[in-house]
């Protein structure tokens, strides 16, 4: 597999958080960052799709969004019961 090696910079606090997140996920930093970048690209593609769809069909209603969240198993995060 071809890879594209990059150098990136973070504020030190964010860099520490990213390293901790990768460690907690049990993955390497490069793999964790690649996953984060892929997730961001998917989110941006979805936002672009929805903007285009709404321009053609009108704004999605709260009921439609709620139905979609239920069908996709996404939505507001559930609060911890600690």
Q: Is 61 contained in some domain?
A: yes
Exposed / middle / buried, residue 34 (Cβ in 10 Å: 0-12, 13-18, 19+): middle
Q: Is 29 contained in some domain?
A: yes
Predicted TM-score of the model (pTM): 0.73
Percent residues over pLDDT 90 in the chain: 74
Q: Is 80 contained in some domain?
A: no
Q: Is 76 contained in some domain?
A: no
Q: Is 35 contained in some domain?
A: yes
Which residues of the chain are modeled with pLDDT < 70? 76-82
Domain count, the chain: 1
d(C-alpha 50, C-alpha 76), whole Å: 19
Q: Is 79 contained in some domain?
A: no
Range of the domain at 48: 12-67
- Mean pLDDT for all residues in the chain: 90
In DSSP notation, 4-27 reads --------HHHHHHHHHHHHHHTS
Q: Is 55 contained in some domain?
A: yes
Q: What is the dihedral of CA 13, 18, 21, 27, to 10 degrees?
A: -150
Q: Is 24 contained in some domain?
A: yes
């Amino acid at each position: 597999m071809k890879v594209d090696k990059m150098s990136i910079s973070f504020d030190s606090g964010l860099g520490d958080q990213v390293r901790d997140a990768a460690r907690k996920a049990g993955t390497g930093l490069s793999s964790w960052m690649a996953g984060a970048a892929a997730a961001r690209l998917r989110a941006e593609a979805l936002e672009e799709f929805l903007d285009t769809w709404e321009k053609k069909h009108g704004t999605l209603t709260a009921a439609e969004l709620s139905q979609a969240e239920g069908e996709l198993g996404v939505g507001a995060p559930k609060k911890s019961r600690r």
